[in-house]
Amino acid sequence: MKILVAVKRVADYNVKVRAKSDNTGPDLANVKMAINPFCEIAVEEAVRMKENGIASEIIAVSVGPQSAQEQVRTALALGADRGILVQTDTDLEPLAIAKCFKAICDNEKPDMVLLGKQAIDGDNNQTGQMIAALTGWSQATFASEITIDGDAVTVIREVDAGLQTVKLKLPAVITADLRLNEPRYASLPNIMKAKKKTIDNTTPEELGVDTSPRVTLLKAAPPAERQAGVKVEDVAELIDKLKNEAKVIS
């Protein structure tokens, strides 16, 4: 089984990202970048499938600037076999990214596309669903367990009310939720080995993808500053403040 796994370059989740002073977007100058955490989980799942003899080849795919090679390289160090970088300096919308994946699916004919459930920068939660729509393949989002049985795959999905189990036919698009697995760290020998693995470069234009935007970002603003707390002397004062200042009880 051949697996395409998506790796997006995003600001490291430990970084507190600020908005640009003119509110036109996040200020990413000199910010530490990393693989989107949900993509790390997708890579880990693909690598476990290879270790269990289910997957034969894992291709890590990123759509982004030349520097996104770093994240593809990290996926190679974690166990992917080769990489594809769809190079663009434009911050593409999920539809354009999904079209790039669709074109790669046409070329590579994978049995499964594994993605994160969302990218922690745009919080769109759209790309996997759009790839499924464009390819016509089955989809399971928010996966917390994946079991392969021949050309069928059973996925346990995390939904608001609990867990939902679905059975899909391959090829399928699956997006990883937080509890699917705990990703490993890349070992030094594997980081060295990854340097020899191939990363093919292409562009949305070469893939025949129309990247024209459909959405205009009007404003990016930081959340409101949290006000300092106050200490109360006793329960009576607390109740008084909840009633008369916060007005959350009557």
Interface residues toward ligand AMP, by CB under 6 A: 6-8, 36, 38-39, 42, 62-64, 94, 97, 115-116, 118-119, 122, 124-128
Which C-beta is closer to ligand AMP: that of 187 or that of 201? 201
What is the C-alpha separation between 172 and 20, in angstroms, rounded? 39
* Cβ-proximal residue to ligand AMP, closest one: 116
Shortest Å, Cβ 71 to ligand AMP: 8
- Dihedral angle over CA of 66, 51, 143, 37, nearest 10: -40
Shortest Å, Cβ 88 to ligand AMP: 9
Contacts of 11 (CB under 8 A, 6+ apart): 17, 26, 28, 31, 32, 33, 34, 120, 121
Shortest Å, Cβ 6 to ligand AMP: 3
Which C-beta is closer to ligand AMP: that of 96 or that of 153? 96
- Dihedral angle over CA of 33, 37, 41, 47, nearest 10: 0
Which C-beta is closer to ligand AMP: that of 36 or that of 168? 36
Shortest Å, Cβ 246 to ligand AMP: 35
Nearest to 197 by CA among 91, 22, 73, 87: 73
What is the C-alpha separation between 29 and 236, in angstroms, rounded? 49
Shortest Å, Cβ 159 to ligand AMP: 17
- Strands 26-27 vs 18-19: parallel, antiparallel or unpaired: antiparallel
Q: Which helix (H) or strand (E) holds 186?
A: none
Which C-beta is closer to ligand AMP: that of 1 or that of 113? 113
Which C-beta is closer to ligand AMP: that of 210 or that of 225? 210
